[in-house]
Structure 1
Amino acid sequence: MARTTAQRLRGRLAAVTPGRAGRAAAVLAPAAVMTVLGLWGLDRGTMWRDEGATFQVARRSLPEIAHLLGTVDAVHGLYYLFMHAVLALHADEVTLRLPSVAAAAATASLTAAIGCRLARPRVGLWAGLLYAATPFVSHYAQEGRSYALVAAGAALATWLLLRAVEHGASGWWAGYGAVVGVTALLHEFAILLLAAHAVTLLVSRVSWPVWRGWGCAALAACILLAPLAVLSQGQSEQVSWLRTPGYEQAKALLYAFAGPGNLVLAVTLLLIAVGVLLPLPRTGPLPLHAVALPLAVVPPVLLYVASQQQPLFLDRYLLFCLAGVPLLAAAGAERLFGLLPWRGVAAAVGVAAVAGAFVWQLPFQERERLPSSRGDQPARVATAVGAVARPGDAVLFLPHYERRIALFYPRDFTGLKDLTLKRTAAASGTLFGEDVSSTELRTRLARLSPSERVWVVWDTNTVGTRWFRAQRAEYAKSRVLGAMYREESSVYVHGGAVSLYVRR
């Protein structure tokens, strides 16, 4: 009797262990690949504007961060608090980006886990690798902002949804609601994930108990987000620079999610079409296409439509729903490669196809690691100041937000007198500090001796433009400077310049 029981146990282990090992490999391999890609070229030698905001705000004290969030950037409050703890360990650019690398690796792994649960291990493996190989993912995996963490939260919430639908226990629904709520606190547009999941449940025709559990969890997440939504509405001026989206913005999002190379885009769209038109048999709690298609489509469509009234459409705000694209493409690949004999051959062919897509788009991946990939290079501007200015010189920032460079890299500005600073950024609860009036600037310039030099750090993308002339305070400062001083020399870098001004 004991021998028979042992034989049965060995038989079950022999049958189960390979499957579990296959799922484990399918889930871990994409995380490993994403980690390698995330660490590749992580130190670009400069932070760009938004990363610098994270860096300088997160290094403030907790009361100073709270003061800031009452006036600006409330939508990033939870992320700033998280990064406050991270940068307390070691404050540099690599540490700033490491949480995003880890979050992207987790998202790749969760994408694979969802594919394994809804189909089979090789589908999960392909989906996770496709996610990791997407240049758009690499971009935000290497950026010190919250978007990679939001994507990880959305992927975890989707996985928890599958568990909750399958088991129906209140604990799973509570976990799901908590993860959705926290993810939305990292970036409030992630609440659109609930709409995608509602469509998933609708087309899957789930039972009433499932709807009840989901409804309670969704309501709890919305209640958790409500105070932030009210507070951020009063700070909407921060995104006033966004424009009503049209065809070009929709096209750019499509290329970001499924491209950006034309050949890869075409193949991905073909596989998605196969995955949608010939859906895989339902093997998990929900059909794969019913989970992946709403995830990839519903949040972008809702945000696009809403942005026709109040422009809020930006590709990075939607990174959290990209995982639906590789899941659909992997489902289509399963329909095609699944016809091949032997499981190992089919899996290898799929992995080779992903590797080929990565190699084909290698120039895009390399471009993401360049210092110029984010639009500006504050470190180069700071270095230019440090090379030419000497202690006792004066500095003036045009527009005032260029003071961010001194906040990001204060060492290069040591000993320089800020001509327009009224209150520091931390004291004023702002990102860049408060400036004096143009009248006070005239007084301060007049007090300088003829031998004292003035260095002007200015944004070449805005100074002199119609936008700059419309900013009365900024334009007035430039007029006062031009009336009393003249430009003698300039050093230009990508997106900025440092100019020496001497008294007329």
Structure 2
Amino acid sequence: MSVDERAPAMDEAVLPPVPARRRAPSPAGAVVVIVPLTLTIALGLWGIRRKNTMWGDEAVTYQVAHRDLSQIWLTAQHIDLVHALHYAVMHGIFGLFGGGLLTLRLPSVLAMSVAASGVGLLGLRLAGPRVGLLAGLVFPLLPQVQKYAQEGRSYAMVCALVTWATYALVVSVPQRARWRWAVYGSTMLLACLLHEFAVLALVAHGVTLVVSRVPRPVLRAWSAAAAGVVAGLAPLAIFSAGQSEQVSWIGGPVRLQYFVVGAVVGVVCALAPLGRRGPVPLSALAVPILVLPGLLLLITSLVKPLFVDRYVLFGNIGIALLLGAWMDYFHRRQRASHNAWIAWTAAVVALAALVQPSLSLRTPQSRSNDATAIGDAVREEGRPGDGLLYVSGRYRAWTAADPEDTRSLTDLALAQDPVSSNTLAGVELPAQEIAARMLEFDRIVAVRDPAGAPAPTDPQNEAKTSTLRRHFREYGTTHVNGARVTVYVRDRDPS
């Protein structure tokens, strides 16, 4: 064989190996993130202004977040320590984007959108792309999610953080890398610092790992992360326990029916063979986070009422995952059946049933009170120089969001305003001084509780009501959502 004949073979021998082609990344991950996120943003922006109204808790967020950071901290020493971090976050957002109504609510819209994408990824990780997409689409359609996506409070942010902490948990189970557990712990801690009842999700995560029979090293890693969360939350929990009067208004479970219906539906869905593709079964993750936090609050309420549906808003992660997995299971069963049209009919009926709640949630009447309407009524009924009387101090905090409503009136009970006193409602005069000041006016605009509400029993409010009853007569009352605004005139008749 000649040298020329051997050359090609030698050239081929020294050629570098051709690298194997990488498989193109699956678009499923992008779809289960982008589609739910887009839908949630669209639903969140729909009717976000609610006719330019805000309810009482939002009004508190609005006025406290406009204070300096030092004032926010000093206020938290007196009241609302559990929301101090949220007020500080909103203070920064107001400083960057202005302090309007949209700025108050847009962070919640974006947070809930991030939560929806996290739900989609959880479904993808635990049961496949179709479950991820279905769960991510179900989540923003839930009435409770739509409601709190449009509120200037911390609950949507807490829900987003718990969602992504849950995803970090699921990812950490097979990987076991320390930095992943650090991400999980820090995300959970941040959620708890925004609202301390987020720690109930930590309990649900522990039950998930135990039920799933994960290896002991995983349980030890989770226990270390959980201990860090509890240690970080402990100072807030201890000091906020001294402000327990903040939840004294809870006389019993608030909107319990939503939790009960969701828990029952979720457990029924979990009875189906939903399968397992991830490091933990989908049911083992979804059922505890749906049921346990609310159940623990209900048990605690036997001693002290604490159950409010928004405190466990993150439970909607569980119902969305279970409904998405159940729809996927039903689709697989009916795919080759002539009864598949039943599934489509049921889906259309379910969507139609959500239309009315979605519409009503975007009206001022959908909230338990309307601070804007109260301020409007005070402005319309009051005349320059009239006295202004808050029979309950919380109404002063609500109307402080728009001072123009009360600027021409004289607050008869106020000794020190909310900002200078580092409080929400200010400091009031002693009872005798309030009564004396009331008698200096011939016309008083009083903001009172709705008819049928229990009357305040503290000395200041008793002095207000007794003086009105003895020396004034009712001229007219405007009933608004959450309050009554009554004009009183001085009764000059000695009889």
Pairwise same-fold verdict (TM > 0.5): yes
Please name the residue that 1:5 is paired with: 18
Query: Which residue, 436, 439, 445 being the options, matches 1:455?
Result: 445
Decide whether aligned partners of structure 1 residues 333 and 4 sit closer, same or farther in structure 2, where only a CA change above 3 A counts: farther
1:495 Cα offset (Å)? 2.7
Please name the residue that 2:287 is paired with: 293
The yes-or-no answer on 1:32 pairing with 2:25 is no
1:5 Cα offset (Å)? 3.5
After superposition, the C-alpha distances for 1:285-330 in whole angstroms (9 at most, x for unaligned) are: 2221121111112222222222212221111111112211121122
Please name the residue that 2:273 is paired with: 278
Q: Name the CA distance, whole Å, in 2 between partners of 1:102 and 1:421.
A: 39
The amino acid of 1:306's aligned partner reads T
Q: Name the CA distance, whole Å, in 2 between partners of 1:501 and 1:34.
A: 47
> Is the 8 Å Cα contact of residues 244 and 308 (structure 1) preserved in structure 2?
no
Q: Name the CA distance, whole Å, in 1 between partners of 2:418 and 2:78.
A: 12
After superposition, the C-alpha distances for 1:39-58 in whole angstroms (9 at most, x for unaligned) are: 11100121111111111111
> Is the 8 Å Cα contact of residues 126 and 277 (structure 2) preserved in structure 1?
yes
In the TM superposition, 1:390-401 aligns within 5 A as: 390-401=383-394
Which ranges in structure 1 are unaligned for 5 or more consecutive residues?
259-264
SS at match of 2:302: coil
SS at match of 2:211: helix
After superposition, the C-alpha distances for 1:50-82 in whole angstroms (9 at most, x for unaligned) are: 111111111111121111111211111111111
Decide whether aligned partners of structure 1 residues 358 and 90 sit closer, same or farther in structure 2, where only a CA change above 3 A counts: farther
> Is the 8 Å Cα contact of residues 48 and 378 (structure 1) preserved in structure 2?
yes
Query: Which residue, 155, 180, 198 being the options, matches 1:190?
Result: 198
> Is the 8 Å Cα contact of residues 461 and 495 (structure 1) preserved in structure 2?
no
Please name the residue that 1:73 is paired with: 80
Q: Name the CA distance, whole Å, in 2 between partners of 1:60 and 1:352.
A: 52
1:115 Cα offset (Å)? 0.4
Query: Which residue, 363, 367, 386 being the options, matches 2:360?
Result: 367
> Is the 8 Å Cα contact of residues 384 and 409 (structure 2) preserved in structure 1?
yes
The yes-or-no answer on 1:125 pairing with 2:133 is yes
Query: Which residue, 421, 428, 432 being the options, matches 2:414?
Result: 421
Please name the residue that 1:494 is paired with: 481
1:121 Cα offset (Å)? 0.7
After superposition, the C-alpha distances for 1:254-304 in whole angstroms (9 at most, x for unaligned) are: 23x37xxxxxx8xx55xx535434131x32222211211111122222222
Aligned residue pair count = 473
In the TM superposition, 1:202-217 aligns within 5 A as: 202-217=210-225
In the TM superposition, 1:30-429 aligns within 5 A as: 30-44=36-50, 45-88=52-95, 89-245=97-253, 250-255=256-261, 257=262, 268=265, 273-280=268-275, 282-339=276-333, 356-429=349-422
> Is the 8 Å Cα contact of residues 432 and 463 (structure 2) preserved in structure 1?
no
Q: Name the CA distance, whole Å, in 1 between partners of 2:346 and 2:116.
A: 17
SS at match of 1:338: helix
Greater shift in the superposed pair: 352-361 or 216-225: 352-361
After superposition, the C-alpha distances for 1:368-396 in whole angstroms (9 at most, x for unaligned) are: 11111102222122222223433333211
Query: Which residue, 28, 34, 43 being the options, matches 1:22?
Result: 28
After superposition, the C-alpha distances for 1:27-49 in whole angstroms (9 at most, x for unaligned) are: 21111111111111100121111
SS at match of 1:486: strand
Decide whether aligned partners of structure 1 residues 54 and 33 sit closer, same or farther in structure 2, where only a CA change above 3 A counts: same
1:471 Cα offset (Å)? 3.5
> Is the 8 Å Cα contact of residues 126 and 282 (structure 2) preserved in structure 1?
yes
After superposition, the C-alpha distances for 1:76-121 in whole angstroms (9 at most, x for unaligned) are: 1111111111222311222111111111111111001000011111
SS at match of 2:455: helix
Greater shift in the superposed pair: 236-245 or 317-326: 236-245
The amino acid of 1:165's aligned partner reads V
> Is the 8 Å Cα contact of residues 275 and 333 (structure 1) preserved in structure 2?
no
| Structure with greater helix share of residues | 1
Q: Name the CA distance, whole Å, in 2 between partners of 1:236 and 1:297.
A: 25
> Is the 8 Å Cα contact of residues 32 and 105 (structure 1) preserved in structure 2?
yes
Q: Name the CA distance, whole Å, in 1 between partners of 2:17 and 2:334.
A: 38
Q: Name the CA distance, whole Å, in 1 between partners of 2:482 and 2:191.
A: 33
1:461 Cα offset (Å)? 4.1
1:483 Cα offset (Å)? 2.7
1:469 Cα offset (Å)? 5.5
Please name the residue that 1:472 is paired with: 459
1:223 Cα offset (Å)? 0.7
Decide whether aligned partners of structure 1 residues 362 and 501 sit closer, same or farther in structure 2, where only a CA change above 3 A counts: same
Q: Name the CA distance, whole Å, in 2 between partners of 1:83 and 1:461.
A: 34
Q: Name the CA distance, whole Å, in 1 between partners of 2:484 and 2:304.
A: 34
After superposition, the C-alpha distances for 1:101-152 in whole angstroms (9 at most, x for unaligned) are: 1111111110010000111111001011111111111111111111111111
The amino acid of 1:232's aligned partner reads S
Identity of aligned residues (%): 38
SS at match of 2:400: helix
Please name the residue that 1:262 is paired with: none
Which ranges in structure 2 are unaligned for 5 or more consecutive residues?
1-11
Decide whether aligned partners of structure 1 residues 230 and 461 sit closer, same or farther in structure 2, where only a CA change above 3 A counts: farther
Higher-Rg member (1/2):
2
Please name the residue that 2:6 is paired with: none
Greater shift in the superposed pair: 372-381 or 146-155: 372-381
Post-superposition, which runs of at least 4 consecutive aligned residues in structure 1 deviate over 4 A? 1-4, 348-356
Decide whether aligned partners of structure 1 residues 37 and 350 sit closer, same or farther in structure 2, where only a CA change above 3 A counts: farther
1:4 Cα offset (Å)? 8.0
1:455 Cα offset (Å)? 1.8
The amino acid of 1:103's aligned partner reads A
SS at match of 1:70: helix
Q: Name the CA distance, whole Å, in 2 between partners of 1:58 and 1:99.
A: 14
Please name the residue that 2:3 is paired with: none
